[in-house]
Amino acid sequence: MIIHHLQEKNSILNKFISEIRDVNVQKDSLRFRRNIERIGEVLGYELSKELSYFNVSVNTPLGNKEEELPNKDVVLCSILRAGLPLHQGLLNYFDDAESAFISAYRHHPNNDAAFEIIVEYFASPSIENKIVLLADPMLATGQSLVSVYEAIKKQGVAKEIHIVAVIGSKEGIEFIKDKFPKNTHLWIAAIDATLDSRGYIVPGLGDAGDLAFGTKL
């Protein structure tokens, strides 16, 4: 797996990351969603540098200009519900991409820290020989991403896979490294050191889905 850790180099991305972490700024769910969206735009821009391009001739009012445009065979797949603001940020840049949505959640059968990942809903075009951008804002244990990948493989064999995440743990990244094809790219804004006993990223930011859309039952 090829890892692109964007916060290794300072940029305006630091501001967006600091605000989604800040417990005071988090109280504004609109700003939280918008910051996740903006982080998605930054990640999408950096990701676009690794895609393949083709030549087109553009007619201007004064003549023609040759331009290089990215190939359009992109499927943007986001994990519900937390992935929706990140999906929108990526879609702002890859506006002609096809979209797929998949649900994945932690199920605690014994009402303790142990959990399993349940995948219940999946709506997707074929991903056969396409570039898949797999968006999940929080890469904690990595189990959700692996379960999702097993589900989407049924739609075909992707030409490329690019995982897009906002914050991840070192443990989660290590877990997924050998679960995806070797040429998979991970685009991640920030990497935190540890997980707590419940499998949440520390210091992280809390529950991204709840912060974006409100608490759930």
What confidence score (pLDDT) does residue 63 get? 96
For the whole model, what pTM was predicted?
A: 0.90
At residue 115, the pLDDT reads: 65
pLDDT at res. 105: 67
> Which element (helix H / strand E) includes 123?
strand 116-123
Q: What is the pLDDT along the chain (217 residues), one digit of tens a residue?
A: 999 999 999 999 999 999 999 999 999 999 999 999 999 999 999 999 999 999 999 999 999 999 999 988 999 999 888 899 999 999 999 999 999 998 876 655 666 666 667 777 888 889 999 999 999 999 999 988 998 898 888 888 999 999 999 999 999 999 999 999 999 999 999 999 999 988 889 999 999 999 999 987 7
- Spatial distance between the Cα atoms of 165 and 188, rounded to a whole number of angstroms: 5
CA dist 112 and 134 (Å) reads 29
Contacts of 175 (CB under 8 A, 6+ apart): 141, 142, 143, 146
Question: In the 8-state DSSP scheme, what is residue 204?
Answer: S
Q: Which residues contact 47 (CB under 8 A, 6 or more apart)?
A: 4, 133, 162, 164, 185, 187
Which CATH code fits 2-52+67-213? 3.40.50.2020
